[in-house]
Structure 1
Amino acid sequence: MVSSRLASLAFLVSVTVVNAVSNGHCTETILPLSIIANNTEIKLSAPRSQMEVSDLVTRISSLTSNLTSEIVGGPRVNNATYRIWTQLCVPTKPDASKTVELAVHGAGFDHSYWNFGGDGSKYNYVEAVLTAGHSILIYDRLGTGQSDKPDGITEVQSPTEIEIAAQLVKYLRGSPKGNQFSRVIGIGHSFGSATLLGLVSKYGDVLDATILTGFAVAGGINYISYPAIGWTIASVQNPKRFGALPSSYVVSEGVSNSQHFFFHYGGYETAILNAAEAMKSTATLGELFVQLGAPALSYTKPVFVVTGDKDFAVCTGNCYQKFNGVNIVEATKQVFPAVAADKFSTWIPATTGHATNLHLSAPETYGKIQQWIGKL
């Protein structure tokens, strides 16, 4: 059960929209979630120019960087209620396990990472889940999509995102829309995977299983990869889409930067790269400069790590490089010390970069994930 330490959930529903999809139906709901998070004081003001952001990226990506020690201060409690956009999709023919997956997207995307391309798309993970007979909740993380966009330095940080994910687990355990689920499985991508690690690190066996994609032993994005994405003030990069956001919100600079960071040449369709660029979402300085990766000491449930062999963001382009005698994807076991060896598995799709779901390997990857869930 979810720990009693979780803040209470406000069940008031603001907006509900029901849509039919292949093999099921989806219900969109904006949930007001009340959280208390132990954020971190960041000694930064909102950037006054792109030059300031570029300087921060250059400094933190240096191999001898001490930027975090300069700007990271003590704890800062964030007690707030946020409106979070969610979509719960339920299959037409659910399997007997009554499984629901909680999908947490990474930085640079919103919920559309999980249903990319819509009905019939081979990149649509939601459709693969429904076909397998499972339900899935996707949502816009705080600061993205249709969810609230508060201060990007003091509020939108990892601890707050972790508490929001915890509240969503509680929501799924509470028979939402009359659906009773017997198990909740978390699946994340990149920053979303780090969020799930933070969730089970704090709350133990709050999930019945955890799937981490775009993730490796470091527990998050390597700072040295930041220049590749070209973090740019969002309102500067695309005033039409992001003009109302404060300068603490950033996006990738352009399509070539998206390619460098998220894709591996030869493993994707050009149209998908361009679509991802057109649909890209934001990250915040609070997320980028305060990362969490504490071991999940009390988590004992199954773990599956799925990371492309050419993932530049977390593996610097080679996920078969060794760490403590094993490749760095397998080495992720070290942050799950209480998980039995037979409950920890990995899959490294070939010719695949950081945006796991947007490569040609996606259908095979989805099959591996659902096969793994089916064996639990």
Structure 2
Amino acid sequence: MTPLFTISLLLLATTAAATTAASRLCSNITIPVQISSRQGLFKKFPILSNFETQAFSQDFTRRAHNLTQELLEDYRTLEGDFNISARYCRPEVAASSTIQLLTHGIGFDKTYWDLSYNNWNYSYVEVATENGYSTLAIDRLGIGNSSHGDPLNTIQAQAEVEALNEVTTKLRNGQVPGIDRIFNRVIHVGHSFGSIQSYWLSALYPNNTDGLVLTGFSPRGSFLATTVAAWNLHNAFLNQPFRFGFQASLPYRLSLNEENNPLRPPPPSLSYQLGLIEKALKRDGYSFTSEQLWELVASTEIGNIVTGFNDTKAPLKYPPGYLTTSDLTASQYVFLNPGFYDLGLAVLSEQTKQPVTTGELLTLGGFPSFSSFAGPVFVFDGDRDQPFCGGDCYAPTGTSSENIAAESKSLFPAQGVFGAYLQPNTGHGINFHYNATAGYHVIQRWLVEHGLRP
């Protein structure tokens, strides 16, 4: 596949308003939730510039220090009404009474589960519905098109778990707007931080889940500092200002974003821009293949221009304290296994990435030490997962477990049905790797074999 063709597919994937695939019916819905969450009240600190975001990262990863405890002033109960944005899909032939509730991780939104790229070849939802399951993929509270909030003292892990629990209860009671049925069984499927929240829910509300699929997950938190450092965090509104822009912090954004503003003319065609880059490099004596040219563009700020990352007319308005990875190279370190992921899809992930809040980072380690849930639990990791395995899930564990993913069994002392699987040649961002679909089928087979048929 040529680089230009890859880019064309990328842009098509991000602009097409596709609502159905061959075997399913989907709709975007909004779910109102009312939550009560006991959580931390943290001392405010400067977080406006990217120098200040780096200072936060340095303090967060500082050896022998606990920034959460150092900033914690008190506790409070957060109560309020919020909206959760979701995408509901069901098999076209017959709707199932079992639904998979999909919760994304840091850096993503609900589209992580249903990537339309390359005709849905990387879509988890496509495989799940083909196997007879209904799915509900949510934007976590605070992210994407769900309700936003103060990034320090509102959007914290506990509040997001409470919102997830409310969505679960509404599914069971037939109270989700736009879904005209009751679901007898809810399987919680998470990725990374979404897996932590699904596990957290099972600990607080063990009777409100019928099964857990935890992808990109393990009990180990020792690699978190490396992950945060590798992200090279920026304020989202500074990193992609026209997409993430927070109008109160960038008052000039409105004038620059006017469609006919002469300061912001339409970008030249992709082929024209790449042609100029290619000529300039050859003039300076560089020799390269077309694939190397595409990698060069995708891994630098040039890629932001070529793919128009900031060209949006509906900014998400994230205030300072909503942080994001600096670029695709930072994301590769954390999420991707070099040589085994689709570069065009990785660029799409950069174009559609989502932030993490300071409050989430300060509270994500506060999950319960065990869950009394006694139902089926399946942990599914890429064998090269960095955030939860340090890049090698097969490395000696120092325990009786055969690999790091299998260590998760210790979190469930009630000894329900437990399984662990490592997907070969795969990093933390499982859904972006060439063999993602094979992994999705492994998950569906495991669910069926352990009593969670659609």
SS at match of 2:154: coil
Say which is worse superposed, 212-221 or 97-106, in terms of deviation.
212-221
Task: Tell me how far apart the structure 2 counterparts of residues 47 and 313 of structure 1 sit (CA, whole Å).
Answer: 24
Say which is worse superposed, 236-245 or 294-303, in terms of deviation.
294-303
Tell me by how many angstroms 1:93 deviates.
Answer: 2.7
Larger radius of gyration: 2
| Structure 2: runs of 5+ lacking an equivalent | 1-16, 247-317
1:311 to 362, 366, 385: 385
One-letter amino acid matched to 1:136: T
**Do residues 57 (structure 1) and 57 (structure 2) align?**
yes
Q: Which residue of 2 aligns with 1:249?
A: 322
Task: Tell me how far apart the structure 2 counterparts of residues 149 and 45 of structure 1 sit (CA, whole Å).
Answer: 20
8 Å CA contact 2:48–2:321 kept in 1: the answer is: no
**Do residues 285 (structure 1) and 361 (structure 2) align?**
no
2:400 to 315, 321, 325: 325
Q: Which residue of 2 aligns with 1:22?
A: 22
Q: Which residue of 2 aligns with 1:211?
A: 213
SS at match of 2:163: helix
Task: Tell me how far apart the structure 2 counterparts of residues 30 and 234 of structure 1 sit (CA, whole Å).
Answer: 24
Task: Tell me how far apart the structure 1 counterparts of residues 143 and 118 of structure 2 sit (CA, whole Å).
Answer: 23
- What does the per-residue CA deviation read over 1:266-315, in whole Å, with 9 as the maximum and x for residues that have no partner? 21011111111111011100001112331343211110000111111111
Q: Which residue of 1 aligns with 2:236?
A: 234
Task: Tell me how far apart the structure 1 counterparts of residues 104 and 428 of structure 2 sit (CA, whole Å).
Answer: 12
One-letter amino acid matched to 2:216: G
8 Å CA contact 1:194–1:219 kept in 2: the answer is: no
Task: Tell me how far apart the structure 1 counterparts of residues 386 and 190 of structure 2 sit (CA, whole Å).
Answer: 17
8 Å CA contact 2:141–2:148 kept in 1: the answer is: yes
Q: Which residue of 2 aligns with 1:6?
A: none
8 Å CA contact 1:123–1:357 kept in 2: the answer is: yes
Q: Which residue of 2 aligns with 1:258?
A: 331
Structure 1 or 2: more helix by fraction: 2
Cα RMSD between the aligned structures?
1.9
**Do residues 116 (structure 1) and 115 (structure 2) align?**
yes
8 Å CA contact 2:84–2:147 kept in 1: the answer is: yes
1:28–1:369 CA distance, 2 compared to 1 (3 A): same
Task: Tell me how far apart the structure 2 counterparts of residues 119 and 91 of structure 1 sit (CA, whole Å).
Answer: 21
8 Å CA contact 1:57–1:226 kept in 2: the answer is: yes
Q: Which residue of 2 aligns with 1:368?
A: 442
SS at match of 1:27: strand
Task: Tell me how far apart the structure 2 counterparts of residues 72 and 194 of structure 1 sit (CA, whole Å).
Answer: 22
1:88–1:112 CA distance, 2 compared to 1 (3 A): same
SS at match of 1:112: helix
Q: Which residue of 1 aligns with 2:298?
A: none
Structure 1 or 2: more strand by fraction: 1
**Do residues 359 (structure 1) and 358 (structure 2) align?**
no
Q: Which residue of 2 aligns with 1:301?
A: 375
1:285–1:304 CA distance, 2 compared to 1 (3 A): same
Tell me by how many angstroms 1:364 deviates.
Answer: 1.2
Task: Tell me how far apart the structure 2 counterparts of residues 124 and 268 of structure 1 sit (CA, whole Å).
Answer: 14
Say which is worse superposed, 212-221 or 129-138, in terms of deviation.
212-221
Tell me by how many angstroms 1:62 deviates.
Answer: 3.0
One-letter amino acid matched to 2:204: K
Task: Tell me how far apart the structure 1 counterparts of residues 222 and 324 of structure 2 sit (CA, whole Å).
Answer: 18
Q: Which residue of 2 aligns with 1:8?
A: none
SS at match of 1:197: helix
Which ranges of 4 or more aligned residues in structure 1 deviate by more than 6 Å?
A: none
- What does the per-residue CA deviation read over 1:137-188, in whole Å, with 9 as the maximum and x for residues that have no partner? 0111122211111111011000100001001101110234222322110000
Q: Which residue of 1 aligns with 2:163?
A: 164
Task: Tell me how far apart the structure 2 counterparts of residues 139 and 220 of structure 1 sit (CA, whole Å).
Answer: 28
Say which is worse superposed, 274-283 or 58-67, in terms of deviation.
58-67
SS at match of 2:217: coil
Q: Which residue of 2 aligns with 1:137?
A: 136
Task: Tell me how far apart the structure 2 counterparts of residues 196 and 129 of structure 1 sit (CA, whole Å).
Answer: 18
Task: Tell me how far apart the structure 1 counterparts of residues 428 and 34 of structure 2 sit (CA, whole Å).
Answer: 32
Tell me by how many angstroms 1:212 deviates.
Answer: 0.3
| Structure 1: runs of 5+ lacking an equivalent | 1-16
Tell me by how many angstroms 1:261 deviates.
Answer: 1.0
- What's the TM-score once normalised by structure 2's chain length? 0.75
8 Å CA contact 1:219–1:293 kept in 2: the answer is: no
Task: Tell me how far apart the structure 1 counterparts of residues 118 and 356 of structure 2 sit (CA, whole Å).
Answer: 27
One-letter amino acid matched to 1:318: D
**How many residue pairs were aligned?**
357
SS at match of 1:225: helix
1:184 to 183, 186, 207: 186
**Do residues 338 (structure 1) and 414 (structure 2) align?**
yes
One-letter amino acid matched to 1:151: D
1:185–1:220 CA distance, 2 compared to 1 (3 A): farther
Q: Which residue of 2 aligns with 1:9?
A: none
SS at match of 2:47: coil
SS at match of 1:313: coil
Task: Tell me how far apart the structure 2 counterparts of residues 221 and 174 of structure 1 sit (CA, whole Å).
Answer: 39
